[in-house]
Structure formats: structure tokens, C-alpha cells
Amino acid sequence: MLDTLTDTAPDVRRAQEFAWRRMGAEGRVRLMLQMSDELREVALAGIRRREPGLTETQARGGLLRTLLGDELYEAAYPSRGRVA
């Protein structure tokens, strides 16, 4: 089923799967963590661009709110209020 949901050519997909297998589990986890860090930095850059006056703490609070959702963020950080 997943094969029908991709626009990746079969030979490219096989090469990608081979590369992932060659990385091993540890390499795939390392790659996933690196990509996650990079995505957070992109999200922070977007928050800073939309709200240039925020402090670093406020921008990171905005990222946490995005990641956690309003309800969980406000339960975890009740004194911070709304930012970004």
C-alpha cells in the first residue's frame, strides 16, 4: 500500500532503503535526532520572524506551546502566560 502513496521512483526508493539499512539502528536514530533538532530551529526562526520583539525565552516558550498545545503548556507553565 505504501508503494502506491509515493512519488519516489522505485530505484531511488531501493537506494534510500539500502542506505538506511547500512546506517543501522543507531545511525537512523542519530539522523532522526539531528533532523528533529533542525526542525525545532526552523520553527524557532519562524516564531522569531513573526514576533521579532520576543526574547529568547519567550521564543522558546512559543515553540513549547506549539509542541505541547495550549492546554498542556499552560498546565506545565502556568506563570508564563501567552506568548508567540
Q: Where are the alpha helices (DSSP H) in 1-68?
A: 10-50, 56-68
- Residue-level pLDDT at 1: 47
Beta carbons of 68 and 76 less than 8 angstroms apart: yes
Q: How far apart are the C-alpha atoms of 29 and 15, rounded to whole Å?
A: 19
3 state SS of 32: helix
Burial of 48 (0-12, 13-18, 19+ CB in 10 A): middle
Average pLDDT over the chain reads 89
**Would you state the cell numbers that stand for residue 1, as one nine-digit string?**
500500500
Q: What is the pLDDT of residue 78?
A: 86
Higher pLDDT, 4 or 20: 20
Best CA proximity match to 62, nearest among 33, 45, 35, 75: 45
Residue 4 has pLDDT above 70, yes or no: no
Indicate yes or no: pTM above 0.85.
no
Confidence of residue 69 (pLDDT cuts 50, 70, 90): very high
